[in-house]
Structures are given as C-alpha cells and as structure tokens.
C-alpha cells in the first residue's frame, strides 16, 4: 500500500480547501477511491513524493 494525498479544491486549479490522506495499492486505485468519495467533487490526487497522479473535475 502506498500513501496518497487528496486535495479538495474550491475550483479547478484553485485553492486547496481540505486535505486528506488515503492508502491505495496503485495510482489508479487512489484516483478511483477519490472519485468514489462524496467529499471530492473537484480534487487533485498526489503521491507521497508530491507528483500529481490524477484529477477529479
């Protein structure tokens, strides 16, 4: 399992209004978890090293 950070955004490319961490086996699984979350209408999904692996718009 790898650690990912999900940043909830006010708008695409906007200010981060909430951060949370999730565990997932792959980048794709982390993005899917964030997409399935009701708390994530517009989010960035980042790896522990800070690289963006996906966006939910």
**Total of domains in the chain:** 1
The pLDDT value given to residue 12: 87
Q: How far is CA 22 from CA 10, 31, 57, in A?
A: 20, 10, 19
Rounded to 5 degrees, φ, ψ at 30 are: -65, -45
The pLDDT value given to residue 15: 94
Could you list the pLDDT tens digit for every one of the 57 residues in the chain?
999 999 999 998 899 999 999 999 999 999 999 999 988 899 999 999 999 999 999
The pLDDT value given to residue 24: 98
The pLDDT value given to residue 39: 87
The pLDDT value given to residue 48: 92
The pLDDT value given to residue 54: 96
Domain that holds residue 33: 2-56
Two tokens, residue 30: 């982390």
Spatial separation of the C-alpha atoms in residues 9 and 46, rounded to whole Å:
13
DSSP run (H or E) holding 18? strand 16-24
């Amino acid at each position: 399992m790898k650690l990912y950070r999900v940043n909830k955004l006010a708008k695409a490319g906007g200010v981060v209004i909430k951060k949370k961490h999730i565990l997932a086996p792959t980048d794709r699984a982390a993005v899917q978890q964030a997409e399935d979350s009701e708390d994530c209408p517009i989010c960035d999904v980042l790896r522990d090293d800070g690289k963006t692996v996906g966006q939910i718009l």
